[in-house]
Amino acid sequence: MLIKEYRIPLPLTVQEYQIGQLFTVTETSKNETGGGEGVEVLANEPFINKPIFGNQPSSGQYTYKIYHLKEKVPALIKLMAPRGALQLHEESWNAYPFCKTIVTNPSFKERLRRYSVIICVFGQISTRLVNFPLNRFSVIFESFHLPDKGTTENALNLPPEILAQREVVLIDVANDDILPGDYRPEYDPTKFHSVRTGRGPYFGDWINQQTPMMTCYKYLSVEFKWFGLQTRVEGHIHRIAQRLFTLFHRQLLCTIDQWIGLSLNDIRLLEAAAKEELNKQRQHDGIRGMSQIE
């Protein structure tokens, strides 16, 4: 299991981020859907009294999505994965400012045993691998949002044994390098200026100079139990996560003029409209969005 805590400071209030995050999730889902791939929304509904943060009952919004993937995973995974395995099932409980998300792949649980035999043949590995345990794959996100600059040492109240394994990664959305193919000038914080709020551009030591400021604390644990691939896949998922977090929050920050002032009711209406649009795009449009990293 590979565990990291990502800290993403942003020049927003915690209340502003709630709206911006929901708006940007809807927009990025549309940008990543088409040609049989992308996001399928199965549920988006309120929940009550679920203990998602410690033992305290919380209420908020529950979503269940399936991510259909073919072209956005490494070639080795496409070769080895059983049919239907290139789908990720995501359940999320948003009790803002806390959110918990669990991503799984049911296909690995049911079908990996037969692929263990193939690995034994081609990799000349002991046939005892056929009895490999059937707890395949999981990714757990826990997010907490605080009005600080990324300086809270244990924002998510992680236990000592997790803290001992955790690697902290600070994401600077303005200064961190991104891939040339990911660059979009309209989402460049160093060039952005908000007409409606007067904020931006952001460069240099902007984190210590801006007001307001808040930080997204994101605990991410990845577990992929497949002999010979575990380390590679867990590392790959973390690289994708850091890339996604960076691009997502660059877009969120630079589209503030589109979502500032919206209410939660406005967001729910946008989400309902997007659900139908996503279904049409996935079935009829061409492949779009972020490419995979080998």
For residue 291, is it within any domain? no
Report the C-alpha gap between 248 and 28 in whole angstroms: 8
Domain count along the chain: 1
Residue 293 has pLDDT above 70, yes or no: no
Kind plus residue range of the DSSP H or E element containing 40: strand 38-53
For residue 70, is it within any domain? yes
Mean pLDDT, all residues of the chain: 81
For residue 236, is it within any domain? yes
Report the C-alpha gap between 3 and 186 in whole angstroms: 32
For residue 161, is it within any domain? yes
Q: What's the confidence (pLDDT) of residue 160? A: 94
Q: Could you list the residue range(s) of the whole structural domain that residue 145 is in?
A: 2-280
For residue 93, is it within any domain? yes
For residue 294, is it within any domain? no
For residue 209, is it within any domain? yes
Helix (H, G, I), strand (E, B) or coil at 211: coil
For residue 290, is it within any domain? no
Look up the CATH number of the domain holding residue 136: 3.30.530.20
Beta carbons of 82 and 111 less than 8 angstroms apart = yes
> Which is higher by pLDDT, 190 or 71?
190
Q: What's the confidence (pLDDT) of residue 33? A: 61
Q: What is this structure's pTM?
A: 0.82
Residue 202 has pLDDT above 90, yes or no: yes
Q: What's the confidence (pLDDT) of residue 133? A: 37
Helix (H, G, I), strand (E, B) or coil at 43: strand
Question: Three-class SS string for 16-27?
Answer: HHHHHHHHHHHH
